[in-house]
A = this chain, B = another copy of it.
Amino acid sequence: MAWPIAEVARMSGVTARTLRHYDEIGLLPPAWIGSNGHRYYEERQLLHLQQILVLRALGVGLTEIAGILGDQVDELEALRGHRDRLLAERDRLDTLAATVSRTIAELEQSRKDGTPMTSINRPENLFEGIQPADVEASLRDFPEHAEAALRATAGMSQAEIEAGQRERTAQMIRLAELTAAGHPADAEPVQSKIDTEYRALTALRPVSVEEYRAIARSCVENEQWNAAYEAIAPGLAAYQRAAMEAYAAARLS
């Protein structure tokens, strides 16, 4: 089965011009060229094109893409890597949206106060999630890092998943009780719980402040985690994050 250039263009959403360009620079030569000079593509090429477009969507340059596809040993492994990176990028957009939401909230506040454009607390916060989140670097050590972080935060080694799961749930319920009691996230009893968690975490492995903050964010952003929190009490995920952030701000700087 072979497709002419316009067909491939239609399927993939890129222009024929782009496909010719990719041929020209050697990134995606067609499967064969007819005696009339026309380009024809087969399935292998489509799979390659998919990878190219995925990587391009992540902001990787074409020359680099060529390199990656070049010394790709296991195609499946590579695809899994790309998918993980896509999900990370999705999470970045999520934080970006959250950042914008915060800006909206602040502007609404100052509009209600009549305070005309008062000082923004920390201008850095205006840009959270905007940084491109170095894809090249993550091409190297993403899987290891993420997996480790997830396992570690959960506070469980892979061997004792079940027990750890129950313990974690119990912690979440205690936290939910504190919320229900009306304690704000930076109140003492909450912070002391968080402190216990933090010690358990760092006992497993060293964790930088940035890493800790990333974990805090993923309580809300990671789908499964968020679901786990929300199953116990609505808003609990955000509460946990707030508590961890307060902890980081107060005791880890």
Contacts and interface: CB of A to CB of B under 8 A. Distances in A.
Contacts of A75: 107
A96 B130 contact: no
A165 interface: no
A69 interface: no
Taking chain A's interface residues, is the majority helix, strand, or loop, or is none over half, making it mixed? helix
Given A44-B117, A100-B50, A131 B11 contact: no
A167 to B, nearest CB: 24
Contact of A13 (B79, B111, B127): B127
Interface stretch (A24-32, A83-91, A207-215): A83-91
A93 B90 contact: yes
Interface string A202-229: 0000000000000000000000000000
A3 B82 CA distance: 38
Contacts of A3: 123
A159 interface: no
Interface in A96-110: 96-97, 99-101, 103-104, 107-108
Given A1-B119, A90-B90, A119-B1, A46 B126 contact: yes
Nearest to A41: B123
Interface in A165-200: none
